[in-house]
């Protein structure tokens, strides 16, 4: 069927197209010099319009292009349009069935990935959007028309929802799945620990992400979550006991975790390991023989004697090196160094022993050659660092000789060996799930061991529980960014937070949380308390009132109430405690450094030594170029780690915290606390 413009219409319209022919599944419009083929699968609408005299046909195409035919006789135009429109709509109805089938197949394919009985990870949805776009390209109809067909409309909208916001759809699915799990296994969550898990804890336990960081604030029940996670994996058949690896940072923490698992899961098949015990296991299984751990690793006195002997020999035998050491200690550390053979001075020996131990430890942890260490150092300190490394070289040599004499390895060597065995494929990881406690304390070396394990088994999940607000071990190599930028290092996944503390009241929480979050680089998270606490739950008090405070406490603290006195330094132990046994015999008083108090709790906490200066809190930066080069970079925010240290101190308390400061030389933290509404008491 064909439609042509009239002679007069053709002349007056002056349009490139003056006739149209209906094809099998399209139309062809043409003129004397131009021709345009319009397939039905490109058409959005066909309009029939009447001008003053003649008719007009308008074809709207999928690419927003419009093709018009003018100057046709109106009656013929109407008849042609009716016939064409009927052909087009009949074809469209047929093609809508094909389109509906394609869309249904796509939704079924997505449904196969989104099984209702499983958590949906991002990796499971990889390629879904690309697959949808590819399917849309293969549709016989323009996608703009799909909403107009009853058999396509809902299917199209569902596909569009996946295309527009796949993350929202994933979150919606996981939320529904989690709610179902919490209902279905309510009895498990009510009885897996001595107290029922709260919703935030339970949601963390069932989260199915491949890499999950659980932010567990002070007193929020992180151990309960770790135990419940292991129990959940067993209950759901996601792992057998030998496929679960539970890691802690210290032997005591690992033993406590073992005891808790035996008690709650009634199983001794899941064993918590330290990173060093894990490395030893890998070497035993993948190497020819099990290495012995050097006795020096657990004997600080013998270890420091080894370094002092090597240092003294070096200084005595080589004047140039003695001069180098004097320069280092005087110019960089600003120590007063005695004249003459300073390396024989007893006070100097005591002072330098710990430093030598620490510096050699950092070099051992690095694991590379001296050249590699120097090349990896920041450019601005590299020349000085190179000199220091050369001065320390004889001490490192003495350490290696001592290990050889023992036929033993050190802790750093253990982890390096384990990573090497994993990368060579001499040990294949059997673990499907790795659970790590106190993750904020992880070092790059330990993180490398985790990465090597996951390379062995790419499907291994990492369930990390920690709190960046309590990261206080940078001096031993911990790298905070491994927590704050968790997914940059450990792959896609999620972050969730335990939102309730069972330890301190809301006033302690208000002050401690406000204080730590003055640093904008700390991860924001809610941490609510179950009890309110009054305004005086946190109080600033002049340090001269310590005895009076203990007198007052002796009046109302029960013998069961623990009172924890915390100091930034070991030597901050107050003289008052020497008379405690007779003056306050009923008080349960314990003194420790804040670092040692991690994991502890007490009804009352007294924080000592809030003063400025060399022995102050916050502690002044005392890092040598060795720490600057071999430790993770310091944060830009002032006193960031010292703030976290005070946060740890305050959050040991259940009921009350007193912050004792020097009135003549108060710590700058005192002003920061006052700005948060902490009052200064004139007396206890």
List residues forming the annotated binding site for ATP: 216-223
Helices 275-286 + 411-423 axis angle, to 10? 50
Q: Three-state secondary structure along 400-465?
A: HHHHHHHCEECHHHHHHHHHHHHHCCCCCCCCCEEEECCHHHCCHHHHHHHHHHHHHCCCCEEEEE
Element (H, E) at 179: helix 166-184
The set of residues, in sequence order, having a beta carbon less than 8 Å from that of 483 and lying 6+ positions away, is: 213, 439, 440, 442, 464, 466, 468, 471, 523
Give the SS3 label for residue 247.
Answer: strand
CA distances from 216 to 55, 224, 597, 678 (A): 75, 11, 17, 25
Q: Taking the mean position of all CA atoms in its chain, how far away is CA 465?
A: 9
CA distance 359 to 353: 10
Distance CA 601, CA 204 (A): 24
Distance (Å, whole) CA 571 – CA 539:
24
Contacts with 465 (C-beta within 8 Å, 6 or more apart), sequence order: 214, 216, 222, 225, 226, 435, 436, 437, 438, 439
**Which one, of 217, 133, 205, 130, lies nearest residue 504 by Cα?**
217
Nearest to 449 by CA among 482, 474, 475: 482
* DSSP SS3 for 43: strand
Tokens of 617: 């809190």
Tokens of 475: 């001096």
CA distance 488 to 482: 8
CA atoms of 299 and 328, how far apart (whole Å)? 27
C-alpha torsion 655→516→597→446, nearest 10: 140
Under 8 Å between Cβ of 590 and 565: yes
Q: DSSP assignment, residue 272?
A: E
Which two three-digit tokens encode residue 128? 């879904």
Neighbours of 314 (CB within 10 A): 21
Rounded Cα–Cα distance for residues 106 and 118 (Å): 20
**Which residue in 221, 103, 203 sits closest to 151, CA to CA?**
103
Euclidean distance between the first and the last CA atom of the chain, given in angstroms as a whole number:
103
Do 507 and 234 contact (CB within 8 A), yes or no?
Answer: no
Picking from 424, 400, 145, the residue whose alpha carbon sits closest to that of residue 286 is 424
- 386: tokens are 């190179």
Distances, alpha carbon 415 to alpha carbons 25, 152, 427, 444, in Å:
70, 59, 14, 11
How far apart (Å, rounded) are the C-alpha atoms in residues 22 and 496?
62
- Binding positions are 216-223
CA 133 to chain centre: 33
Residue in 622, 546, 629 with CA at minimum distance from that of residue 580: 546
Taking phi over 0 as left and psi of -120 to 50 as alpha, with beta for the rest, 409 belongs to beta
Tell me the CB-side half-sphere exposure of residue 290, using CA atoms within 13 A. Answer: 10
Q: Which helix (H) or strand (E) holds 259?
A: helix 251-265
């Amino acid at each position: 069927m064909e439609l042509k413009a009239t002679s007069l219409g053709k002349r007056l319209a002056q349009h490139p197209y003056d006739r149209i022919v209906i094809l099998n599944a399209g139309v062809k419009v043409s003129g004397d010099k131009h021709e345009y083929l319009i397939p039905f699968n490109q058409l959005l609408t066909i309009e029939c319009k009447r001008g003053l005299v003649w008719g007009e046909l308008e074809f709207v195409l999928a690419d927003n292009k419009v093709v018009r035919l003018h100057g046709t006789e109106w009656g013929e135009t109407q008849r042609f349009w009716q016939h064409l429109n009927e052909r087009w709509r009949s074809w469209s109805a047929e093609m809508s069935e094909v389109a509906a089938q394609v869309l249904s197949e796509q939704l079924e394919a997505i449904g196969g990935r989104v099984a209702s009985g499983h958590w949906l990870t991002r990796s499971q949805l990889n390629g879904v959007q690309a697959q949808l776009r590819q399917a849309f390209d293969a549709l016989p109809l323009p996608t703009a028309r799909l909403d107009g067909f009853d058999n396509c409309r809902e299917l199209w909208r569902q596909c569009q929802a996946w295309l527009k916001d796949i993350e929202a759809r994933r979150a919606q699915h996981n939320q529904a799945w989690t709610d179902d799990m919490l209902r279905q296994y309510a009895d498990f969550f009510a009885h897996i620990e001595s107290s029922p898990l709260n919703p935030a804890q339970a949601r963390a336990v069932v989260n199915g992400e491949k890499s999950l960081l659980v932010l567990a604030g002070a007193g929020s029940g992180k151990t309960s979550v770790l135990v419940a996670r292991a129990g959940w994996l067993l209950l759901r058949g996601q792992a057998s006991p030998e496929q679960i690896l539970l890691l802690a940072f210290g032997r005591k923490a690992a033993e406590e975790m073992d005891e808790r698992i035996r008690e709650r899961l009634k199983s001794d098949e899941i064993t918590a390991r330290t990173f060093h015990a894990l490395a030893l296991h890998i070497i035993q299984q993948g190497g020819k023989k099990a290495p012995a751990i050097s006795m020096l690793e657990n004997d600080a006195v013998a270890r420091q004697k080894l370094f002092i002997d090597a240092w003294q020999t070096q200084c005595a035998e080589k004047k140039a090196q003695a001069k180098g050491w004097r320069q280092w200690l005087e110019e960089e550390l600003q120590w007063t160094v005695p004249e003459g053979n300073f390396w024989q001075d007893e006070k100097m020996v005591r002072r330098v022993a710990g430093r030598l131990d620490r510096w050699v430890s950092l070099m051992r942890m690095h694991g590379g050659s001296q050249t590699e260490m120097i090349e990896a150092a920041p450019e601005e300190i590299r020349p000085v660092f190179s000199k220091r490394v050369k001065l320390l070289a004889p001490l490192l040599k003495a350490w290696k000789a001592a290990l050889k004499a023992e036929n033993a390895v050190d802790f750093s060597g253990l982890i390096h060996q384990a990573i090497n065995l994993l990368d060579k494929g001499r040990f294949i990881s059997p673990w499907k799930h790795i659970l790590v406690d106190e993750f904020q304390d992880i070092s790059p070396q330990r993180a490398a061991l985790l990465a090597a394990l996951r390379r062995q088994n790419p499907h291994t999940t990492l369930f990390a529980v920690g709190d960046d607000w309590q990261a206080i071990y940078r001096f031993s190599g911990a790298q905070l960014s491994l927590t704050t930028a968790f997914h940059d290092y450990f792959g896609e996944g999620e972050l969730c937070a335990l939102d309730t503390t069972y330890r301190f009241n809301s006033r302690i929480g208000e002050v401690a949380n406000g204080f730590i979050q003055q640093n904008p680089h700390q991860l924001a998270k809610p941490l609510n308390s179950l009890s309110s606490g009054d305004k005086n739950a946190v109080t600033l008090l002049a340090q001269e009132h310590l005895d009076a405070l203990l007198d007052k406490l002796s009046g109302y603290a029960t013998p069961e109430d623990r009172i924890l006195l915390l100091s930034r330094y070991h030597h901050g132990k107050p003289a008052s405690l020497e008379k405690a046994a007779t003056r306050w015999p009923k008080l349960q008083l314990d003194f420790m450094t804040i670092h040692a108090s991690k994991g502890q709790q007490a009804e009352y906490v007294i924080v000592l030594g809030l003063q400025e200066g060399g022995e102050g809190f916050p502690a002044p930066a005392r890092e040598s170029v060795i720490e600057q080069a071999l430790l993770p970079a310091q944060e830009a925010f002032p006193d960031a780690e010292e703030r976290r240290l005070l946060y740890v101190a305050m959050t040991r308390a259940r009921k009350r915290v007193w912050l004792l400061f020097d009135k003549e030389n108060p710590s700058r933290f005192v002003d920061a606390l006052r700005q948060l509404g902490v009052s200064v008491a004139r007396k206890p």
